Each structure stands twice: as C-alpha cells, then as structure tokens.
Amino acid sequence: MKAVTFSALTLSLLSSAAFAGATVESCNRTVSFDAPPERAISNDVNLTEMMLVLGLADRMVGYTGISGWKTLDEEMRAGVEELPELSAKYPTKEVIVGADADFFFAGWNYGMKVGGEVTPETLAPFGIKVYELTESCTHIMDKAKASIDDMYADLMNLGRIFDVEDKATALVDGYKAELATFAEGLDAGDPLRVFVYDSGEDAPFTAGLYAMPTALIEAAGGTNVMNGFEKSWGTVTWEEVVEQNPEVIVIVNYGSVTAEQKREFMMSNPAFADIDAVKNDRFVTLEYVEATPGPRNIKAIKTLAQAFWAQ
C-alpha cells in the first residue's frame, strides 16, 4: 500500500477543521478564536514558560521582555533556543506587527501599560488577538486578591485557545495534587509575618494584596505583611516595613542587584536592626520566574514552606 503523506498546509487545515472554536474571558473582555493561533508572541519569562509547558513553542514566532531585565536559566534557555527574542524589554506595536503575529500573550505591566501603544485595542486592527495574564487584571478592573487559581486559569485558557485543553487539564490537575500532598505533610504553626523585598534602597518595591507572592506565602503558611497595600506591585516606605516587623523576608532575585546584595543591605542597615527577620537572619530567595504567575509557582510554595518551618 502506498504511504499517504500530508503537507504542513494540509495538516494545518485538518487541525483547524477539528477545532470547534474557543471563547475565553480575558480580564474584562471576551475573546473568541475560530482557529488556534499559529504565530504567537509571549512577553516576560513567566508567561513564556506557560507557553512552553503546554508545548506551544512551535506555535510561536518569538518572545519579548526578558533579557532587558533577567537572565535565562538552563531550563529556560533550552525551551526558547529556537525562538528569537524580538525585544529585550516591552515590545513596540511595530515589533509585534512586524513579526506577523496573530496572538500576543501579555499582561498589564507585563508587556502592556494602561494607555500605552500596545494594548488589545491597538493590536486588534492588525488581526492580533491578546490574552491578558489574570493576575494583572487588577490594573484595569476590580479583582479578588491574588490566588494560585489565577495561574491555573491562565493555563486552562491557553489550553482552550491553542486546542491543547487535555494537556492543560492534566498539568493543572497534577499541580493541584502535588500541592495537596505537600500541604498534608506540612507541619506549620501560626502564620508567619512575611515581607517581599523586590528592589529599592531609598524605598522598597514590594508585592501587595494583588500580586502572586501573596498567594504563594499563604499557601506556605505565612501572611504577607503588606496585605493592606491594595495594589499588585508597588513602592511602600521602610517605616511601614519596620512597623509591620516581618519574621521572614522573601527576596525576589533578578536584575543587576543580587539577592545577596539585597540581604546585606538590610542586615547592615541600623534602621532595620529591630526587625525580627533581620535579627534572626531569616531570608529566603525566590527567582523572578518563581515569584510571578507561572509553572514554577509550585516549586516556590515548597521553597517558602521549607524556609518558614524547617527551623
């Protein structure tokens, strides 16, 4: 019998024919797809990892917003080695349109800014659909505080959009089971007071109520001392930090100032000498890709819990 072969175009048409369409909620918008995107762009390391963990590298024409601030670890480099970085920081509209993209996975302050030149509305005339990172929706609408369910929702929505829903479901179910098993074995006491130190010496940039570290800290048995800071990420005062007296400080590691330099700044500053975390040298480091919504959130929760309770 003669072997039957199919061209890439034929396979694409067959795949599109089997796709029944998808409609997802993206912040305060409803976005519909008649066919899975074939020329996607993702912004930032955590959003790009969501695409990679779903096996979507072959549906991408590139990524943006990573090397301008962060370095890629070995796992990440291997995942994107065939893809170009189209912009080291936030992409311009011209970059996205010039790549002949049909989809942009980004978020507010994750590649898009409110009132900026790259938004769902500015890309729509070019046939480019946008899916917004759920955690980031707080910048444009009322939203509940950050939750690990935000990350699960993004994976499931990407699964629907790209017609890999079975894979997304298997991943999310696996993550939930892994965390449930871990929680059963966690011997936690009263919630620890935790401060997230992202950057800044004159005034600290930190995670508030609507940022993913709040959810990670709570899952690990702590409470974010900046829960009253009703923002995602933003700047507070050192006086507020001293007043809250955190027992543990979580350092987000990225950029030109290392985690050890951030720790040394706090340990050597007399103004922080009475903070419990400083007195007891209780610091724990999360990589940026762990502290922002993405597949590595599961590892981040375990890292935090071990630092909180393995004393």
Question: Under 8 Å CB-to-CB from 76, ≥6 apart: which residues?
Answer: 45, 48, 49, 289
How do strand 29-33 and strand 283-287 relate by DSSP bridges?
unpaired
Mind listing the domains of the chain with CATH numbers? 19-171 (3.40.50.1980), 187-309 (3.40.50.1980)
At residue 1, the pLDDT reads: 47
Answer yes or no: are the C-beta atoms of 64 and 85 closer than 8 Å.
yes
* 158, amino acid identity: L
Q: CA-CA distances (angstroms) from residue 32 to 21, 128, 135?
A: 7, 12, 20
User: Which of 46, 24, 38 minimizes the C-alpha distance to 107?
Assistant: 46
Radius of gyration (C-alpha) of the chain in whole angstroms: 21
Structure tokens at 126: 């070019």
User: Which of 247, 260, 59 minimizes the C-alpha distance to 162?
Assistant: 59
Structure tokens at 168: 């997304």
Answer yes or no: are the C-beta atoms of 92 and 117 closer than 8 Å.
yes
Question: In this predicted model, what pLDDT tens digit does every residue of 173-213 receive, in sequence order?
Answer: 999 999 999 988 888 889 999 999 999 999 999 999 999 99
User: Which of 268, 306, 264, 261 minimizes the C-alpha distance to 284?
Assistant: 306
Q: What's the mean pLDDT in 22-50?
A: 97
For the chain, how many residues are written?
A: 311
Confidence check: pLDDT of 153 > 60: yes
Q: What's the mean pLDDT in 295-303?
A: 97
Structure tokens at 276: 């419990």
Confidence check: pLDDT of 311 > 60: no
Q: Tell me if residue 105 falls in helix, strand or coil.
A: strand
How do strand 248-253 and strand 283-287 relate by DSSP bridges?
parallel
Percent of the chain past pLDDT 90, that is, above it, reads 86
Structure tokens at 38: 């074939």
User: Hey, CA dihedral for 223, 229, 231, 235, is it positive or negative?
Assistant: negative
Q: How far apart are CA 222 and CA 190, in angstroms?
A: 8
At residue 266, the pLDDT reads: 97
- Longest CA pairwise span in the chain (Å): 82
Q: How far apart are CA 110 and CA 67, in angstroms?
A: 14
Q: How far apart are CA 151 and CA 153, in angstroms?
A: 5
CA 106 to chain centroid: 10
At residue 14, the pLDDT reads: 53
At residue 3, the pLDDT reads: 52
* 97, amino acid identity: V
Question: In this predicted model, what pLDDT tens digit does every residue of 203-249 receive, in sequence order?
Answer: 999 999 999 999 999 999 999 999 999 999 999 999 999 999 999 99
User: Which of 305, 196, 309, 307 minimizes the C-alpha distance to 251?
Assistant: 196
